Amino acid sequence: MSLLRENWRIALLLVFVVGSGIALFLPGAPPGAPSGQSGMTNLQYGIQLDGGTRLQAPPVGITAEGVDVDRNQETELARNLSQAFGLQPIDIRVAAGSNTVEVFSKNVSQSELQSALEERGHDPETVRDGVTEATRNDMVEVIRNRIRESALGSGTVSTIRTAGGQTFISVSAPDRDADELQDLIDERGVVRILAGYEAENGTYVTTPVLQGDDITDVGNVRSTGSSFGVDVTVADGAADRLEDEMVEYGFDQRTFCNYNNEDPQNSSGRCMLTELNGEIVFSARVRQGLADLFASGEFSENPVFTSSTNSREQARELEISLKTGSLATTLDFDQRRTQTLDPALAERFRFNSLVVGIIAVLAVSGMVYLRYKQPRVALPMIVTAMSEVLILLGFVALVQYPLNLSHIAGFIAVIGTGVDDLIIIADEILQQGKVATGRVFQNRFRKAFWVIGAAAATTIIAMSPLTFLGLGDLSGFAIVTIVGVLVGVLVTRPAYGDILRYLVLSEEE
Amino acid sequence: MVEFEVPEIDYDRYSNRQLAVVPLAVLAVALAVLIGAYVLTGSPVALGIDFTGGSELTVQTSMSASEVRSSFDTQPVSVQAISSESNQYVVTFDADSGDVSDFRDQAQSSGMTVLGSGTTPASFGSQSQELALIGLAIAFGGMSLLAFALFRTFVPSIAIIISAFSDIVIPLAVLSLLQVKISLGTIAALLMLIGYSVDSDILLNNHILRRRGEFYESTYAAMQTGVSMTVTSMSAMAVMAVMATFFGIDLMSQIGFVLFLGLAADLMNTYMLNLSLLRWYKFEGVAR
């Protein structure tokens, strides 16, 4: 036991090294690590080292906060405002729970919203740029689902706060290029089914009969002769309503459809219209079989029909939009930040930065050796510094933090500070006079530690602004450096002191 | 065989004034460079797209740099070849010269392969500028407070603060002279420098003020350790700067370059400026 008590610093270092080795190399060891991943380690790589695309953009919209509105006024106010601004009802979100009113349009200014609310007796406390957290979280969820539903499904979606207090939505996808990713998320994905028919006064009317929310189950794209379609199941409550409305508009009878997309008023017959993002993408008559089901009321017992489009791409977009729901608002691509990198180039960066790191370690080792000329002092120093890097890599693998170039630079910086501190310890302990007694050793070690602790504290203080300022990738660099310094001061550097003590004592004997 | 030994400098031969005048003169020149650049261009250092906004493409092509330059509808700000790979260039555009998607299209239609691209909106860039300054101010202020907390006397603390300030200003002036465009990586390096460079100052102050022993003896002990530390770190940073430049990894080469310069400045500041202040404090300041 006393052996352990005397050598607890070395023991602690070993525990950390073994733990890091497990986190780094044992497949599936870090919680939340993707299983069945190829590659030698559990490390996650960011865009710069793995390739792919990252796109960051703020959601379009303004928010009035502290709006005095009751739950039963929500729908009414939303409808009123959408009419006043000439927008669709889905462009306004009124939430009594958080007392907020959001307008998802670039065409409404803050002062317009302010006065519109004041006119209606709902005085807001403030009106600001951006949307609410609830809306952002909805969007993150929808985008995440879209990436999963689309062909090559992996990617991460999160919100980030920028310098000016704006909140951006950040989307990273390792295996696609910028245009592909942008196409996937640039539309809100609003799907509506409309019924088009001639009213009694002779005008051609289109009325929405189904919204995206009314559809519970969506099949995969299939070819339906000349067109493509997806089978959709209508939710129970909506199916009865749909049936009643279809009968009311006369869709239970033999019918034809002649829809004129350029000039809807020139249309004739009864048409089922599929609308995607505000555009009619398909029109067709109701097949006789379905019309009979509407007439007999059997449709609601098995409410399935095929929603069609002209092309496979549109059908795919329809499918993804129906499956993942619509985005509350669009992203403002004029203010986007993007980064995209070819995987081959990223791989080269990964390899080259590793080479840079190794050569930096060799340079440091060479300097240390030239300085001490005793392998027994220099070698443990180099090994200790390397173990520091291993522990850091273990930490990064454990928290599944995506590595970028700035982190590799951070590692090299940590090797630098680490070796600095080891030199302080070595010089202090190896100075004139024997270390024979534990008390002398402890005394010298404490003196060395005062300097190391002070130096570490300054590095941590200098780096800390980067962790919360939101300056891009630099928070990663700062976190790696701070963790590295902490691991160094608390674990590896004290252990080096103990190692040196053994070496010196055995020499003196 | 190469030997790495810290030379013992005969400080007795120089007065405090003689010692301090060199680093102070260098600092004054550095400040003059930064102020001059500010007056001439509106910014003390050239700002990269992280701070101004703009777009960047990495392309592969058999064209020459000037052919690449003329392949775009709008003139790129710079076309830079990557030294480790032939036929690869980094092309940079202003924030107001167009959209990155258009540049990608133009590059592709001229037969280039686009390996990577990035864009930062101008609004984002100016926010980053502001934040970077705030970050530097917080870091520097925090470091200064800590220096006072550690030594609790005016002269030794202020000595640390002045040399840390000079350690930051000198590399910035060099970057300004070389017209290097600074990026977020530079800011990381400058913050790292605040942490790094005070190590040797703390070590020197600690040896001289908190230990028993004669002044020059303590100084030499501190120098032996401190110079070894700084030179070792400098070797790591030099390697990083040279290798990363060769491989075309801008971020790492800039961090390496800035830290190398800063540490070199720190050698001068610690063992000339800080030392002369401490010697004055020890022999004259305390006696008053």
Domain identity same for A352 and A464? yes
Q: For the domain that residue B61 is a member of, what is the CATH number?
A: 3.30.70
**Closest C-alpha to A220, from A315, A325, A326, A309:** A315
Residues B263 and B153 in one domain: yes
Could you tell me if A315 and A274 are in contact, meaning their C-beta atoms sit under 8 angstroms apart? Answer: no
Q: Each residue's pLDDT tens digit in chain A (509 positions)? A: 567 777 888 889 999 999 999 888 888 777 766 554 556 788 888 888 888 888 888 899 999 988 888 888 888 888 888 888 888 878 888 888 888 999 998 888 898 988 888 888 888 898 988 888 888 888 898 888 888 877 656 778 888 877 667 788 888 887 777 777 888 888 888 888 888 888 888 788 888 888 877 888 888 888 877 788 888 888 888 888 888 888 888 888 777 888 888 888 888 888 888 888 888 888 888 888 888 888 888 888 888 888 888 888 888 888 888 888 888 888 888 888 888 888 888 888 889 888 888 888 888 888 888 888 888 888 888 888 888 889 999 998 888 888 888 888 888 888 888 888 888 888 888 876 665 567 777 888 888 888 899 989 999 998 888 888 777 777 888 888 899 899 989 999 889 888 888 877 776 55
**Same-domain status, A58 and A176:** yes
Whether residue B62 is found in the same domain as residue B129: no
- How many whole angstroms separate alpha carbon B214 and alpha carbon B224? 16
Residues A473 and A417 in one domain: yes
Which residues on A lie below 8 Å from B121 (Cβ)?
A: 334-337
> Measuring CA to CA, how many Å separate A183 from each of A105, A111, B35?
20, 32, 47
Q: What is the CATH number of the domain that holds A380?
A: 1.20.1640.10
Neighbours of B284 (CB within 10 A): 10
Does residue B2 form part of some domain? no
Query: Could you tell me how many residues make up chain A?
Result: 509
Same domain, A139 and A216: no
Asked if residue A457 and residue A376 are part of one domain, the reply reads yes
A129 touches chain B (CB under 8 A): no
Statement to judge: residues B174 and B257 lie in one domain: yes
Three-state SS string over A402-441 comes to EECHHHHHHHHHHHHHHHHHHHHHHHHHCCCCCCCCHHHH
Given A170, A186, A202, the domain boundary residue is A186
CA atoms of B177 and B44, how far apart (whole Å): 10
Q: Mark whether A408 and A263 lie in a shared domain.
A: no
Selection from A299, A302, A295, A197 nearest residue A247 by Cα: A295
Domain carrying residue B15: 11-47+124-285
Q: Are residues B238 and B185 in the same domain?
A: yes
- Kindly state whether residues B130 and B114 are assigned to the same domain: no
Say if B115 falls within a structural domain.
yes
Q: What DSSP string runs through chain B?
A: ----------GGGS-HHHHHHHHHHHHHHHHHHHHHHHHHHSSSS-B-HHHH-EEEEEEE-SS-HHHHHHTSSS--SEEEE-SSSTTEEEEEEEGGG--HHHHHHHHHHTT-EEEEEEEE-HHHHHHHHHHHHHHHHHHHHHHHHHHHHHH-SHHHHHHHHHHHHHHHHHHHHHHHHHTPPB-HHHHHHHHHHHHHHHHHHHHHHHHHHHS-S-HHHHHHHHHHHHHHHHHHHHHHHHHHHHHHHHHT-HHHHHHHHHHHHHHHHHHHIIIIIIHHHHHHIIIIITT-
CA distances from A434 to A381, A507, A508, B140, B267 (A): 20, 10, 8, 40, 31
| Cβ–Cβ gap B128/A427 under 8 Å | no
Among B95, B120, B145, residue at a domain's last position: B120
Smallest CA–CA distance, residue B103 to chain A, in Å, is: 12
- The domain containing residue A450 runs over which residues? 2-51+342-508
Contact B138 A355 (CB under 8 A): no
Query: So what's the ipTM on this one?
Result: 0.86
Query: In angstroms, rounded to a whole number, what is the distance separating the alpha carbons of residues B243 and B253?
Result: 7
* Residue B279 and residue B230 share a domain: yes
pLDDT tens string B229-255: 999 999 989 988 999 888 888 888 888
Amino acid at A208: P
Domain boundary among A186, A212, A230: A186
Q: Which of B90, B120, B150 is the last residue of a domain?
A: B120
Residue B88: phi and psi, rounded to 5, are -120, 140
Chain B contact for A449 (CB, 8 A cutoff): no
Q: Is there a single domain that holds both residue B132 and residue B166?
A: yes
One domain, residues A45 and A69:
no
Yes or no: say if B144 and B75 are a contact pair by the CB < 8 Å rule.
no
Residue A378 makes CB contacts below 8 A (sequence gap 6+) with: A365, A368, A369, A371, A372
Answer whether B195 sits within 8 Å of A455, measured CB to CB: yes
| Domain membership flag for residue B6 | no
Task: Mark whether B146 and B21 lie in a shared domain.
Answer: yes
DSSP state of A331: B
pLDDT value at position A32? 64
Measured between CB atoms, does A454 come within 8 Å of chain B?
yes
Angle between helices A405-429 and A474-487 (to 10 degrees): 20
- B237–A458 CB contact, under 8 Å: no
pLDDT along chain B (288 residues), means of 10: 68 84 94 95 89 89 86 86 80 85 86 87 85 91 92 89 94 93 87 86 88 84 90 90 87 90 94 90 71
In a domain, B234, yes or no: yes
Q: Determine, yes or no, domain membership for A377.
A: yes
In a domain, A331, yes or no: no
In a domain, B5, yes or no: no
A140 vs B: CB within 8 A? no
Q: Are residues A44 and A77 in the same domain?
A: no
Is B3 inside a domain boundary? no
Residue pair B11/B270 in contact (Cβ under 8 Å)? The answer is: no
Q: Which residues touch A201 (CB under 8 Å, ≥6 apart)?
A: none
Instruction: Answer with the one of A186, A211, A241 that is the final residue of a domain.
Output: A186
pLDDT at position B176, please?
94
Q: Give me the number of domains chain B comprises.
A: 2
Show which of B120, B142, B177 is a domain's final residue.
B120
Q: Are residues A441 and A366 in the same domain?
A: yes
pLDDT at residue A433 in the model: 62
> Residue B249 region, left (φ>0) first, then alpha (ψ -120 to 50), else beta?
beta
Residue A332 is assigned to a structural domain of this protein = no
Q: Which amino acid would we find at residue A351?
A: F
Cβ contacts of B101 on chain A, cutoff 8 Å: 178-179, 182
User: How far apart (Å, rounded) are the C-alpha atoms in residues B193 and B135?
Assistant: 13
Q: Both A305 and A199 in a single domain? A: yes
Within a domain: residue A359?
yes
Distance from CA of B3 to the nearest CA of A (A): 6
Domain assignment present for residue B129? The answer is yes
Q: Based on the domain organization, do B148 and B200 belong to the same domain?
A: yes
Q: Identify whether residues B265 and B181 lie together within a single domain.
A: yes
Whole-model pTM: value is 0.82
Q: How many domains does chain A have?
A: 3
- Which of A 169-208 lie inside 8 A of B, CB atoms? 178-179, 182
Measured between beta carbons, which residues in chain B are less than 8 angstroms from residue A349?
247, 249
Per the domain annotation, does A309 fall within a domain? Answer: yes
**Token pair 């942490």: residue:** B195
Task: Using CA coordinates, name the residue in chain B closest to A464.
Answer: B139
Closest CA to B141 of A451, A164, A458: A458
**Do B164 and B193 belong together in one domain?**
yes
Give a yes or no: residue A330 inside a domain.
no
Q: How far is A359 from chain B (nearest CA, A)?
A: 7
Position A133 in a domain = yes
Q: Give the Cα-Cα-Cα angle B123, B128, B129 (nearest 5 degrees).
A: 100
What is the nearest CA distance from A474 to chain B, expressed in angstroms? 7
How far apart CA B8 and CA B6 sit, in angstroms, is: 6
Backbone angles phi, psi at A11, to 5 degrees: -60, -45
What is the model's pLDDT at position A503? 79
Q: Are residues A180 and A203 in the same domain?
A: no
Any idea what the CATH number is for the domain that residue A265 is in? Answer: 3.30.1360.200
pLDDT given for residue B24 in this prediction? 94
Work out the minimum CA distance from A446 to partner chain B, whole angstroms.
Answer: 13
User: Within this chain, do residues A356 and A472 fall inside the same structural domain, yes or no?
Assistant: yes
- The answer to whether B196 contacts A469, with C-beta atoms less than 8 Å apart, is no
Kindly state whether residues B138 and B74 are assigned to the same domain. no
Question: What gap in Å lies between CA B11 and CA A131, rounded to an integer?
Answer: 65
Q: How many CB atoms lie within 10 A of CB A231?
A: 16
Note whether residue B4 is domain-resident.
Answer: no
Domain membership of residue A280 (yes or no) is yes
CB B216 within 8 A of CB B238: no
The token duo for B245 is: 């430049």
* Residues B56, B107: Cα–Cα separation, whole Å: 12
